[in-house]
Structure 1
């Protein structure tokens, strides 16, 4: 049997086409009315209710009196008098000005006062104005009933008009049909608030308390949790509002997972007291602040200046759809390049970043061009640079996820090393003035294939920098970026949303962190610091213990850490062991490298020597042969030969997903 008896204000999504057209016409008519016109309509309705109430009172108490034309003529002076008095009383009480969506107890009180005043006026004027029999039977008894009927009709008309208007607005807006899980104080307050909301319509309550089942609360029925899935299906529920802020987190998570499994959205609602308290509103509704996670303040925008190096230039960003590439593109909007060329391998990522930039730069001060292609394709790269007259290249395209590159070394080396070689060579040949490589701290004393591949890319660029006069080659090296795809923060956020545990590879592991905005700003500044290029290192501050980061994220989300000191906590932090190629602590410079200050307090320059031209050529030749043969062993031998500080990890371990990779020997 289907569940019935539910309040069901139909949303626009569930209307047939004729009904939708009628509702649209009504919506346009209502919204076209000015406030003055709406007040006039209410006033006229109040005037019309006066004779209706009088006739009903006479008909109820004096049914033998015929209300013919003669009777109406005899009552006309009284009706006109009461209509005029009603207009004056309504104006003094501001009755037409009361918004229908706010017509609650105060509105009802004013309507009662209005009806009583009309009744008193009728009592005083009827003996004078109604002189013809049998209308002289309009006595005190009739006028008392008249007053009561006028009150009832006045309140009923306003409540009915409010319901009709809410129905029209909800149908037009495509509102969401919601269940409220929890018929306690928070649930009741939420249901009352939703009565005047156009975007959501409450259908019923769900409550764990059996004593509540079958009751009507706030005009809505209350059901038990066993009927949740059935209600969601039969009543076409879009969203469930979890209005039980005091229950344990584990129980909230259990309910949320059940709702999501049934195909619905779930939103947790804090108590109204919590919303009004000083601190908890921010904790509830604001995203986790990255500066709070890092335990330091972010960089001041005033410190950032690119010296106009990008103004009026054609700038090409590779990997433009990635975390760093897309942020570089966003920040370049303020630097007024002549043209921005977005070069990206992923069609979806390119579409998304192009659309976002078009919206951010609605005035279209400069041209934005989206190009699909791979940096490993010399033809695609050369054609793009020639066709658009590229003057500056920001090379952010790379495979950067350590576990994935560790288990797919050949493709990682092809993209990160050969792609950089192809792009840098074409940039020099085509007369590009500036080439900037975005590198990583994992290129310093690398212990994984990704880090070694980025070190080889650095060596390629250092070689060209030593031999090129027309093109300035620059390398910018920094650590982890908070919030980038695949980084630890989004991973921890997903794990928190699932109720944990948060996976930590080692108790003592630390990482350098910077926000995406900080990193992109400093990358752009690094490209303008001097005329000779070089290797720049961003000041990342102090390394952050990942366990501390995990704890801060759990607490910022409103949970507690479950450990030996707090066995009743919400979310556990589990140690899984270091993955292949993962270091406990990252480094930003090589041991013997000297760090020198630059014109920016957060950017340092390091003096590093690279390989000779012949050594770089030999490394690229050996790597190409290994890739052509599909031979990982030869690729590892090439890395070990030319990246002398590379220490290969055992070829096996646990990946991010927890899958065990069988050990291999390079």
Structure 2
């Protein structure tokens, strides 16, 4: 306004020496300009953001909110609440363990103290809602905060992990109720997306079992890396329909081929590889339900071993460059058929790596939260029915990882591998299933044993108390990624392996369960059945 006024004054001086123009008007003009240009904008912003929102709603009593975490995310969240939802929610205070923030203000909201003052603050300020604004918190930090919130009997909401926020934008719409993933899988993973992208960008990629929990997430992440084409091979019609619909909606420019079929069908496998010539194959198709497969060894062997063999041999024949085998911790010292079949598939991949031009890479990890057949969906159903929640043993524990985290590490391992490696994902500390059950009951707003009973049913056939991620003779070595370890593996003779597989095929064709189990033990002598 002042620069404009000065420019006008200079022009008028040069034009007519300010003849017939009152000098006072040049003094008042910039102030009037500021008022008439700025005041309407100021009034609109004040009305829109927070100060007079109570005039625009019938809600006389907005919810009183306490926010845990006074960092950047807390600042952005409060700003969004005041601007958009000041008529519904009133942020009253922050708590944060960073002592440097104590006594300060964030968007006019005071930072009162650390998390240990939670109960006192709730009682003093009559809080209605607790919001955890810590998207980059570790799983230990989240557990501590949620444990503090448990006794407050107030609704608790949180932000998703930082890498799951859309464009890293923090706003009220991103909040959700506390989920078990927030307690067990919040450690942020740093990936080298440049290396991953180089391995998959402009490549033809095939994913077997692409409609399953791991397979569908792999499809999503690979699709975002701009492959030349993505081929999905899936035996479940509905799962294939879902993932195809989702990918075509989210990635309209993706060249996508969705094929219905069984990996045991070598004719279908060879037809697809001959037609599309995939350069990278992610093999995620497998049966994985331990107790069910324990009494159905033939189906486990056909799918997990012979199906893998069909895909492996086709990959070698049609010059696939990289084959990534998705394995499990149950393949280590297996006490069940499922684990033994996955170990046999690992051995097959290692053997073929030594005898072909295809690079075979194995990635081994533990349980995945929310995957099909995992305990989390089962516990949710049991809690919804009012219980009881069934746990096999009070001491049983498992390694857990979220589906996106597991798939990201699979992609990272595939980019790092040269061929023949067994990569073991660092799963952190194992979690007791009883703890998992208790937390899920509490997150549902109930009290364990009081509102919902937890009963112990005993170990199921083939189930172990504690899973392992590697054999004792597989000396683990560090890699360039802190979450990925390299397990040394023993050499296997290809003639012996192929002879055993031919015998397994005959036993499956004869439906001879006893011989099938003996045949699996020939390949995996450590099987304890």
Shorter-chain TM range is 0.5 to 0.7
Name the residue aligned to 1:530: 417
Name the residue aligned to 2:188: 299
Query: Are 1:483 and 2:357 counterparts?
Result: no
Equivalent of 1:390 in 258, 272, 278: 278
Give CA deviations for 1:425-479 in whole Å, capped at 9, x if unaligned. 11001000010100000000001110011011111111101111x2111000000
* Whole-Å separation in 1 of the counterparts to 2:197 and 2:249: 26
Name the residue aligned to 2:15: none
Alpha-carbon distance change, 467 to 575 in structure 1, aligned in 2, over 3 angstroms: same
**1:496–1:571 contact (8 Å) kept in structure 2:** yes
* Whole-Å separation in 2 of the counterparts to 1:410 and 1:575: 30
Question: Deviation at 1:307?
Answer: 4.8
Question: Deviation at 1:592?
Answer: 1.1
Name the residue aligned to 1:559: 446
Alignment of 1:210-229 (within 5 A): none
Query: Are 1:309 and 2:224 counterparts?
Result: no
Question: Deviation at 1:346?
Answer: 0.9
SS at match of 2:130: coil
Query: Are 1:286 and 2:160 counterparts?
Result: no
Across the aligned residues of Structure 1 and Structure 2, the Cα RMSD in angstroms comes to 2.4
Equivalent of 2:300 in 389, 408, 412: 412
Name the residue aligned to 1:662: none
**1:288–1:553 contact (8 Å) kept in structure 2:** no
* Whole-Å separation in 1 of the counterparts to 2:389 and 2:528: 29
Alignment of 1:27-176 (within 5 A): none
Query: Are 1:346 and 2:236 counterparts?
Result: yes
Name the residue aligned to 1:638: 519
* Whole-Å separation in 2 of the counterparts to 1:301 and 1:275: 36
Equivalent of 1:627 in 500, 505, 508: 508
SS at match of 1:292: helix
Name the residue aligned to 1:542: 429
**1:482–1:513 contact (8 Å) kept in structure 2:** yes
* Whole-Å separation in 2 of the counterparts to 1:274 and 1:459: 61
Name the residue aligned to 1:443: 331
Runs of 4 or more above 4 Å deviation: 102-106, 273-276, 301-305
Give CA deviations for 1:603-646 in whole Å, capped at 9, x if unaligned. 01111114211111121022112111111100111112221110
**2:350–2:420 contact (8 Å) kept in structure 1:** no
Question: Deviation at 1:508?
Answer: 0.4
Q: Highest CA radius of gyration, 1 or 2?
A: 1
Question: Deviation at 1:491?
Answer: 0.8
Query: Structure 1: where are the runs of 5+ without partners?
Result: 1-101, 107-192, 194-272, 563-568, 649-666
Name the residue aligned to 2:401: 514
**2:191–2:412 contact (8 Å) kept in structure 1:** no
* Whole-Å separation in 2 of the counterparts to 1:429 and 1:528: 22
* Whole-Å separation in 2 of the counterparts to 1:325 and 1:530: 20
**2:129–2:156 contact (8 Å) kept in structure 1:** no
Name the residue aligned to 2:454: 573
Alpha-carbon distance change, 571 to 610 in structure 1, aligned in 2, over 3 angstroms: farther
Name the residue aligned to 1:593: 474
Name the residue aligned to 2:485: 604
Name the residue aligned to 1:432: 320
Name the residue aligned to 1:52: none
* Whole-Å separation in 2 of the counterparts to 1:404 and 1:293: 29
Question: Deviation at 1:304?
Answer: 5.2
**Which stretch of structure 1 is more off in the superposition, 527-536 or 316-325?**
527-536
Q: TM-score with structure 1 length normalisation?
A: 0.54
Alpha-carbon distance change, 104 to 615 in structure 1, aligned in 2, over 3 angstroms: closer
SS at match of 2:217: helix
Name the residue aligned to 1:322: 212
* Whole-Å separation in 2 of the counterparts to 1:399 and 1:103: 55
* Whole-Å separation in 1 of the counterparts to 2:463 and 2:384: 26
SS at match of 1:571: coil
Alpha-carbon distance change, 381 to 278 in structure 1, aligned in 2, over 3 angstroms: same
* Whole-Å separation in 1 of the counterparts to 2:264 and 2:280: 18
SS at match of 1:309: helix
* Whole-Å separation in 2 of the counterparts to 1:485 and 1:373: 19
**Which stretch of structure 1 is more off in the superposition, 280-289 or 307-316?**
280-289
Name the residue aligned to 2:226: 336
* Whole-Å separation in 1 of the counterparts to 2:403 and 2:419: 26
Q: How many residues align?
A: 373
Higher relative contact order (CA 8 A, sep 6+): 2
Equivalent of 1:457 in 345, 368, 383: 345
Question: Deviation at 1:389?
Answer: 2.1
Equivalent of 2:129 in 277, 294, 319: 277
**2:335–2:463 contact (8 Å) kept in structure 1:** yes
* Whole-Å separation in 1 of the counterparts to 2:301 and 2:380: 30
**1:478–1:538 contact (8 Å) kept in structure 2:** yes
Query: Are 1:402 and 2:276 counterparts?
Result: no
* Whole-Å separation in 1 of the counterparts to 2:346 and 2:437: 32
Name the residue aligned to 2:78: none
Give CA deviations for 1:131-156 in whole Å, capped at 9, x if unaligned. xxxxxxxxxxxxxxxxxxxxxxxxxx
